[in-house]
């Protein structure tokens, strides 16, 4: 239950931060929030956000349909320094069999079915914590991983995730997350107490 509440806090914090940043006062337009720092490493983007959160950085990969340019797959992996775990969000299109979940296969590793947490008009999402040994498996899996999904009609599909640059992107993302968490903790400790 503690893991679920931590996961909920991470994703709720991201949603609340995004919603708060999107709202502007009626009297004066607000300055847009600073963009994340983004670095390309192989086929991954490493993004670090200026907001104080439990997981300030993530590594992200998105694949779009060649014709429609609609998102087919998105994978975000964030490191949470406070608990030394990773959070993953996998986004797939609507029309999947929600009860079957997603299976991740990389090298000799095959995950148990990962349940969808929610669906909206943009797709269905797996959102969960990952143990560090899963990240180690991905680091040593080779060039690609597969996400196995099942459609509502029972057809099975395999979506390829490129692991080109995965280890370097992960190391950069985790290092930046640790540094940002340490800096945020030091700033919070140095701030005067509110009366």
Pairing of strands 85-92, 123-130: antiparallel
Q: Is 56 exposed, middle or buried (0-12, 13-18, 19+ CB in 10 A)?
A: buried
* Predicted local confidence at residue 156, as pLDDT: 96
Strand segments (E) across the chain:
37-41, 44-48, 57-64, 71-80, 85-92, 103-106, 109-110, 118-120, 123-130, 144-150, 156-162
Return the pLDDT at 186.
Answer: 54
What's the CATH class of domain 36-185?
A: mainly beta
- Contacts of 176-184 with CB under 8 Å at 24 or more apart are 176/46, 176/48, 176/56, 176/57, 177/48, 177/55, 177/56, 177/57, 177/78, 177/79, 177/80, 177/81, 178/79, 178/81, 180/48, 180/56, 180/57, 181/56, 181/81, 181/82, 182/81, 184/52, 184/56
Q: Kindly give the confidence (pLDDT) of every residue in the chain, 195 residues in length, as a single tens digit, with 9 standing for 90 and above.
A: 454 444 444 444 443 333 343 444 455 677 777 788 999 999 999 999 887 888 889 999 999 988 988 899 999 999 999 999 999 999 999 999 999 999 999 999 999 999 999 999 999 999 999 999 999 999 999 899 999 999 999 999 999 999 999 999 999 999 999 998 877 655 555 555 555
Is residue 45 within 8 A of residue 59, CB to CB? The reply is yes
Instruction: Sheet containing 103-106: give its strands across.
Output: 109-110, 103-106, 144-150, 156-162
pLDDT the model gives residue 52: 80
**How many CB atoms within 10 Å of residue 74?**
17
Token pair recorded at residue 49? 């956000």
Contacts of 60 (CB under 8 A, 6+ apart): 44, 45, 46, 47, 74, 75, 76, 77
């Amino acid at each position: 239950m503690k893991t679920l509440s931590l996961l909920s806090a991470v994703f709720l914090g991201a949603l609340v931060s995004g919603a708060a940043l999107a709202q502007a006062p009626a009297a004066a337009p607000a300055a847009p929030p600073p963009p994340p720092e983004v670095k390309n490493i192989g086929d991954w983007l490493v993004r670090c956000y200026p907001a104080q959160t439990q997981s300030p950085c993530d590594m992200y990969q998105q694949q779009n349909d060649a014709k429609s340019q609609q998102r087919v797959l998105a994978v975000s992996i964030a490191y949470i320094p406070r608990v030394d775990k990773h959070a993953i969000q996998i986004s797939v299109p609507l029309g999947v069999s929600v009860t079957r979940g997603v299976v991740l296969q990389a090298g000799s590793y095959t995950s148990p079915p990962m349940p969808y947490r929610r669906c909206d008009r943009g797709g269905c999402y797996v959102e969960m914590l990952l143990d560090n040994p899963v990240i180690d498996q991905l680091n040593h899996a080779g060039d690609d991983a597969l996400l196995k999904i099942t459609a509502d009609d029972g057809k099975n599909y395999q979506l390829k995730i490129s692991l080109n640059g995965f280890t370097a992107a992960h190391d950069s993302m985790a290092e930046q997350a640790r540094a940002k968490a340490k800096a945020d903790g030091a700033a919070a400790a140095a701030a005067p107490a509110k009366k």
